[in-house]
Each structure stands twice: as C-alpha cells, then as structure tokens.
Structure 1
C-alpha cells in the first residue's frame, strides 16, 4: 500500500511515520516543510494543482494529513489548519488516483464539556478558541468534500517529543530547570484542568488502523479517562525523583497569557476545566484501544526533558 504522509516532521507526524515504516506492506512518501521530508511543500501557500500532480505521480492509496499548527494568532491558525486542508481536499478532487484521506483533527473542536461527561462524536462542537475553530472548519471541509475520508479527533497527546508549548511539556521543562538550579520549590499554575491524555504512539496506531479501515466520518481518539493536570505534574515529579514542593498558583483564565510561571492561561485550548473522550467508536470501527499506560508516557516525557541542554 502506498501512503502519502503530510506533516511528517511534526509531533504526531513523526510517530505516524515510524509506525508506517514498521509495516512492510507500506510504501511511505513523506511530505512536509522540513529537510527530513521526501518532498518539501507548504500546504498553507502551495497550489492545489501542484499537489494534485504530485499525488498523481506518487499514486497513493491513502493520504494522511498530520500537518497543522497549535499556536499562533487566528489568521495564522486559519492558514495552517483550514486553508491547508482546503488545498488537500481540492488536490484530491482533482487527482485521478481516488486516494482515501485520513485527517488528524483534535478534541479542541468540541470545546468545553460538562464535568464528568464523556464526549461522543455526536456532540455539537462548540470550540472555545481560534485553534479549535480552525480545526473544526478543517473537519467540515473534509466531511463535505465527497472524498473517501475519516477524521480522527485526537484529544491530548503526550509521550516522546511532547512540545514544550503543551501543558505537560511546559511542566517538564519547568521541572528540569528547577532541579538544575537546585530549587526546593516548583511553582505551577493551571493545574485544576482535567484532560484525556493519550500516548502519541497509540495515536499513531489509530492513524494506521484508520488508513486500513473503511471508516468514515469522525472518530474520537483518546484514553477514555480524564486526569487532573495536578496529578500529572505530581506523577512527573515522582518519575524525575524531585522531592521538593509543588506549589500551585491560584491563577485564572482572566489573567491571560504571560501571568505566572506555570502553564497559562489554565485552558488555552478553549476546552474549559474538563474533557474526556468517548472512544467506543474507535473500538468498534477501527478495532483500536489505547495500550500505553500514562506512567510509561510520563517516563518518556521526562527522559527527553532531562536530556535537554
């Protein structure tokens, strides 16, 4: 099976690439903006006709889109997350190949959920910020494209390569600096939020499964269990062997970015205090379940942070 992977140089894309390369039945071509990609192409500025010709040349059975951006202003997010997907859909419509599209979306498309509730694919999306809005718009483009396509709404991915801009990545970096400086106290903010954390390698397995399936529409990818960020921070400190005090700052979203040394604002993803995925559709339609425990994910997050210079 020939697979064209878009966004191969990103956090999710790198793990998806590793998963696909490990499958001897897959012939992988990676497209991205970095030097490691087989082909360099910017989806936000490139022409659909150019991409269509490239798709025809590669002749993939599946196109997987892991490209996108989690940070930036509304205009940048729209270009990277929405315009890019419009380019992909138009290119696949123009192509004669008839490739299947696996689009990687995100849990932020749903927005805040009632505490204690699991969010299913039939929930009405109400994204609470520009990132979620841009990803939801991309999902709507895919679903309305007429293509053979599935959208995987990934909740909160963690594991090897977790960006320092993500909440857990920021905590790991703050912990590394605290231990390096010999400080007896680590101050963190925004720890009250509860998120559905899922290992990025499990996400890669889900993408692989989706590429082989006939599933269409939206499929949630998560652990099915919300965990308080405060507990994740404490577990990460335990893994790191930090015996100092974790001091929680009583910050509030109204304070806005740039206030306090911890993750701020407490929920910049626009998802409020609680998010938990209903993952029954992934089990039923993809034959997928998460395998990697949070403890292993956290150990890998810390290993990379500790080795950072």
Structure 2
C-alpha cells in the first residue's frame, strides 16, 4: 500500500491498520532536505498522522519512531549527550524531528523514539559527506591524481553502522522501553580520521591535504608513503559534517557536486545545526534494550567504498 503520510487522511491509514493488525509499527519515513515548511510537513505532520491513526485503530500496535541526534543541537566538546539533555536544535531539520518526538511522547501510545546519531555503512547515499568523499577518491584514483584536497574535516560525530541501527530497531520493537533512547557508538570521531580510514580501505596511496585544517597533511594510509604530487594531479573536495540523517543521510539545504578535476572545488555544506561535536551517551540503550554497537567504523567505510567503487 502506498500512502502519503504528509497529506493522507488518518482515517484511511486507520482502516489499513485495522485490516492488517500489526503488532509493531516502525516509522522511518521523513525528509532531510528542503525548507522549514517542507520539513515540517514530512517530519512532523506525517508523524501526527501516524499517531492519530494508531490511536483510532484497535490494533494496539507498538510504535518505534526513528528520531535523530539533530534534535539535541550543539554539544559541549568532550561531553556525552544523554537522553535527559535539553534539546536545542540548531536548524529546521532538527526542529521538525524534535516536534515529531514530542508528538510521539505525548500521544499516549506504547511508543519509543530512537535518537539515531550519524548512520553510516551500506546504502550511504553518494550525496552524503562520506559518500561524496568516497566518490571523490574513486575519481581521483580513476584519473591518476595523487592528491586530494579536503576541507571541513574538523567536526566530530558519533558514527553508527546502519546494521547496528537495524538491530536497535528490532530490540526496541520487542522491548517495553518507552521515551527516548540514544543509538550511537558512544565515541565521537573526527571526519579527518574517517577520511584517512576511507583512504586506507580504498587503497588510495596519494596524499590527503586539508585546506582549512591544521598545518600539514592527513596521511592517506598509515604505513603507506603517499605518491608525489604532480601539477595537474589534484582533486578538491569540501565536506562539512552532518549529525544525522535518518533514512536518507542528506542534510537540509545540502548542495554541490562531485569533484570534476583539477581546480574544481566541490561544496559539501552539511548544516545539521550540531556544531563541532556530538557523542552519544548510550547507557540507556544498553540497559533497556540490551543493545550496543558492534560494527567498527572501518567496516562501515569499507562498505561505503565498495559501493562507490562499483558505481559507474
């Protein structure tokens, strides 16, 4: 059944729920790009429709809502954000997701909201920051460029593999947990470090130069000597960080293209409104869901690279 949650009638969805009588409803629908009105329609109004339909139905289904770390907004560097932190979203995307969370928590339903931090791994869109980095690296290797210029790698985010997120959703659907539960690795990683790991798993032997970062260069791979640069062998990229992307890791307002060769800078604005640091306190997920992340970032990045390398 195809149903537009942002425009559809709660009554129509109620009839469908009564017909199929699900035990659990998992809401991953939403938008990450667009203006405030569009984000509100797809992320907030849609959730209101889901909640109202479940209230009207007789199925008694449990609701698992996928929230995101953008609801918290900026965090103090070095801190771990727990579920009781006061949310201060820094942009319309986070505001729309926080409003959805409040709707779920106030609905009276048997419901839990999973606040997912920065999902990575298989299926990461080519338009997301890490997806674009992988694409830039693929093109650099394909054209024989020995240097990749990057910027915006100073932010730190808590990356969690999408397969671990799926396990968390499954655990939440079977548990009695309610309220908000953070889903993350519990460790903030600088994008600079992620770029170096991506270069290593890709086998990129060139140099990664950070344009707006600290002096020096980011080594392409530990233990590997970068190939010498040549005058026309430089690709440029810009990747600022994104705190979260629920089902579709692209931030509101994102634009820019893939590097097209020497001298062409690619812009990767990632306005998640989360500042320079985000790290999840994941003790609630451990204690109430019996969940913790398992898949290391290197494996997630290897899967991103595999998909980029196979892209034609």
For the superposition of Structure 1 and Structure 2, which TM-score range results when normalised by the shorter chain?
0.7 to 0.9
TM-aligned CA deviation for residue 258 of structure 1: 5.1
TM-aligned CA deviation for residue 257 of structure 1: 6.0
| SS of the residue 1:247 aligns to | strand
The residue number in structure 1 matching 2:13 is: 51
Give the 5 Å matches for 1:143-292: 143-250=105-212, 261-262=265-266, 264-265=268-269, 267-292=270-295
Give the 5 Å matches for 1:54-133: 54-133=16-95
Give the 5 Å matches for 1:22-37: none
Query: Comparing 108-117 with 240-249, which one deviates more in the overlay?
Result: 240-249
Greater length-normalized contact order (CA 8 Å, ≥ 6 residues apart): 2
Structure 1 unaligned regions, length at least 5: 1-38
TM-aligned CA deviation for residue 167 of structure 1: 1.6
Deviations 1:107-137 (A, max 9, x none): 1100000000000000000011111111001
Query: Comparing 166-175 with 48-57, which one deviates more in the overlay?
Result: 166-175
Distance 2:121 2:198 in 1: 12
Distance 1:232 1:261 in 2: 20
Distance 1:177 1:72 in 2: 29
- Report the count of equivalent residues: 268
Deviations 1:166-214 (A, max 9, x none): 2211211111122222212212221001000000000000000000000
Residue number among 278, 283, 295 corresponding to 2:298 in the alignment: 295
TM-aligned CA deviation for residue 261 of structure 1: 3.3
Given that 1:171 and 1:263 are in contact with CA atoms closer than 8 Å, whether structure 2 keeps it comes out as no
Distance 2:4 2:265 in 1: 34
Given that 1:189 and 1:261 are in contact with CA atoms closer than 8 Å, whether structure 2 keeps it comes out as no
TM-aligned CA deviation for residue 263 of structure 1: 5.6
- Computed over aligned residues only, the root mean square deviation of the Cα atoms, in angstroms, reads 1.8
Detail structure 1 runs of 4+ shifted over 4 Å in the superposition.
256-260
Distance 1:296 1:105 in 2: 24
Asked which structure has the greater CA Rg, the reply is 2
Distance 1:178 1:61 in 2: 49
Deviations 1:246-289 (A, max 9, x none): 12222898xx9659835633x51110000000000000000001
Residue 100 of structure 2 is aligned to residue 138 of structure 1: yes
TM-score (norm 2): 0.82
